[in-house]
Structure 1
Amino acid sequence: MKKFLLLAAIALSCIHSSFAQRFKQGVGAGFSVETADYMDTKVNFGFTYSPALFFAEAEKSSFSVGIPLSLGFNEGYSSEYDDYDDFYGSSSIGFMLDVPVILNFNYGAGALSGGRQKWGFFVGGGYGYHLTTANYLYDYDDNGNYRSTESSTFGVTANAGFRIGMGHHHRHNLEIKFSYMKGLTDYRPDVGGVNCIFNF
């Protein structure tokens, strides 16, 4: 994790010194649904801080590199039959962390420093780190309950969405983002999410 963050910081510094024309940031909230083999489905709720460096600006478009950091909590549900064939379920609360590095193509609202467009969109992909507490169906503690364990993964990620220009000359924008991550290490989860972010 430390090596990943260090490489991300170095990459952003290189882009800033060579190409970047503008730095923007945003804050917001959203949710995601996480599934994996032998693990309860998780619904993650979190808050997002989204810094990004914009470069290669054209007439109505630009590219950007960002790290939309999300931190939040999740709830999982477990169910099973006991020795008397009685069905019961239980829920559990955990936490989650998302640290993706994303390269986006931006068009319209939010793409340019002096742009006045009311609408815009973006699409891109990258690589990310995901951390969660997970209830594994095959892992029991001494009392026969599911054991809650901390799991993390690295994987590829993609996102797309649209922006609505806000404020004077639409210099700020409201962003609706749809994202997906496929974990390639450890428990290999699928994580799909929706975020609403105000960029300023």
Structure 2
Amino acid sequence: MKKYFLLVIICIGSLHVSSQNFIHAAGLSVFIDHTSRSPNIASYGLTYSPRFNVMQNSKMSVSVGIPLTVGGSGGSGGKQPDGYWIDDQYYYNYDNGYEAPEVKARWMVDVPVIVSLNFGALSSLYNTRRIGFFLGGGFGYHLGPVNVDHRDLRGNHYIDSTYQNLAGPVGNLGIRIRTGPKYSTEGIEIKGSYMKSVTRKQPDVYGISIMYVFR
């Protein structure tokens, strides 16, 4: 254990802080809200991901980033309610095209703060490799859609198209491919992420993003 700790200290010590800089990325993301109360729901959004290299050299960097995603989930019912109550019984607003209850369209917001280890391509301005990878962890907030299954007073089920507010630890990993010339920070980033809520029981959020990296 002491040897591994010493190796980490040496690696961090070999980095330098004199050339700190920002690197940005923007693109598309898909998030899946999973909960035991309802089926998985996919949301789609636009992501802007700035990161700040706090330490870097020609092989790797340590960065802090805030990949912000704003989007939503579709719904045949738009802003309509799922249904209405009459005499203690729930009646759906039906979508005749799908012969199913209408479901409201909802917003989705995902905001984590991530500390990452970046290796190879696009880790910093000093790296000349064509391909790189990264992994990181942190803490995030997620507002996402859920369809909650309720039971009325007569024992009938109905669906409530609503939201879940989550906060918890986040982990991600991915690859980067340089598309620009040597020493540039232009390229493609593909990332997968996972969030485990500590504010609610059992919900999980899975994400995948594809972005263009630039400076």
TM-score bracket, normalised by the shorter chain, equals: 0.7 to 0.9
Choose 31-40 or 59-68, whichever is displaced more: 31-40
* Larger Rg computed on CA atoms: 2
1:147 and 2:137 equivalent?
no
Aligned twin of 2:61 = 62
Unmatched segments (≥5 aa) in structure 1: 1-17, 78-87
Q: 1:97 to 1:139 in 2, by over 3 A?
A: farther
Query: Shift of the alpha carbon at 1:32?
Result: 2.1
**For residues 90-120 of structure 1, what are the alpha-carbon distances to aligned partners after superposition, in whole Å with 9 as ceiling and x for unaligned?**
4633221100000000000111123221000
What is the number of residues matched between the two proteins?
171
- SS at 2:49's partner residue? strand
Written as runs of structure 1 = structure 2, the 5 A alignment for 1:10-89 is 21-75=20-74, 89=100
2:134 maps to a residue whose letter is F
Give 1 or 2: higher strand fraction: 1
Q: 1:150 to 1:192 in 2, by over 3 A?
A: closer
**For residues 100-150 of structure 1, what are the alpha-carbon distances to aligned partners after superposition, in whole Å with 9 as ceiling and x for unaligned?**
00000000011112322100000011100000232211277xx97422223
CA distance in 1, matches of 2:200, 2:48: 26
Counterpart selection for 2:199 from 185, 188, 192: 185
Unmatched segments (≥5 aa) in structure 2: 1-16, 77-98
Aligned twin of 1:82 = none
CA distance in 2, matches of 1:24, 1:124: 16
1:166 and 2:206 equivalent?
no
- SS at 2:50's partner residue? strand
Q: TM-score of the superposition, structure 1-length normalised?
A: 0.77
CA distance in 1, matches of 2:62, 2:71: 28
CA contact (8 A) 1:43 1:76 kept: no
Q: TM-score of the superposition, structure 2-length normalised?
A: 0.72
